Amino acid sequence: MMRFVIGLIILSCLSLSVLSDADDRDALIYKVDIFLPPKEGRRETKDILRIRKTLKQLSGIRVLFSFKELGNPHVILILHVEKACTWSQMTRFLSRRGYEFSTKCLYHISDFARELGVNNTDDLWATSFDSELMVIDSVILPVKGLSTLEYNQMMKWILEKAITIVKSGQQMTCFRTLASYPVELFYIGPVSQSTVEKYDRYIHGPRHFLNEVTRIENLDDYAGVCQRD
């Protein structure tokens, strides 16, 4: 599984404090990781369902994707904040409930690819997932020893391979974090043995990648109960 997406993607981060005006699309998409620390009397399932319900009530914040990590009290959100002033709704809710959370500003992979001269369209990338068996893979490519031109050429190669996989029928989406190097990308998509084999053909890239794979399910599918066969 750790080889699953190793050859795919990349770009790193900007802090929440740099929220800019509503016209700056780069600063208005966020990955939010919410952790529910152990606490006496805490009911994990109830808290996660409360998060899911609250997301539907927020105004000016659109949920692009929402996931629950398998086996851990960890919710992962990709949010589009339509106006910077609406963000406080989210932070007030999380702080009031005593949840631990962190954020990263994101940029959609389709825009990144176009900047590098890689042909793609927005509708190429998934906007939702039906599969219950998915992963989110954080992929980082070390920058040491590379010029900017070499680094960009390597990223272009990686994105071209990712687009080839998508065009072959594999459903996926990806976001990069903003601003600094080394580049970090978050790949999101369903997982199966056939997709592992498909990615395997592309992992022998020009450099070694650092990646961390997290098994996830759609938050809307989470019920907090075991499913019997």
Q: What is the pLDDT of residue 211?
A: 78
Same domain? For 116 and 206 the reply is yes
Per-residue tokens: 188: 């999101």
Determine, yes or no, domain membership for 124.
yes
pTM of the predicted model as reported, rounded to 2 decimal places: 0.80
Closest CA to 175 of 1, 30, 17: 30
Same domain, 85 and 171: no
- Number of Cβ within a 10 Å radius of residue 53: 9
Averaged pLDDT of the chain? 79
Per the structure, the complete domain to which residue 50 belongs is given by 16-107
Residue numbers of the chain with a pLDDT score lower than 70: 1-27, 179-180, 192-208, 225-229
Looking at the domain assignment, is residue 134 inside a domain?
yes
Q: What is the CATH number of the domain that holds 130?
A: 3.30.70.1060
- In terms of domains, do 42 and 121 share one? no
The residues near 220 (Cβ < 8 Å, ≥ 6 apart) are: 52, 66
Q: Is residue 140 part of a domain?
A: yes
Q: Assess whether 155 and 215 both reside in one domain.
A: yes
114 with 63, same domain: the answer is no
Phi/psi at 3 (5° precision): -90, -5
State residue 159 phi and psi, 5-degree precision.
Answer: -65, -40
- Work out how many domains the chain is built from and give that number: 2
Q: What is the pLDDT of residue 198?
A: 57
- Single out the residue in 107, 128, 150 at which a domain terminates: 107
CA distance 78 to 68: 12
pLDDT in tens, 89-145: 999 999 998 899 999 999 899 988 998 899 998 899 999 998 777 899 888 877 777
Tokens linked to 71: 């086996």
- Give yes or no: residues 174 and 184 share one domain: yes
pLDDT of 42-51, one tens digit each? 788 899 999 9
pLDDT on residue 225: 65
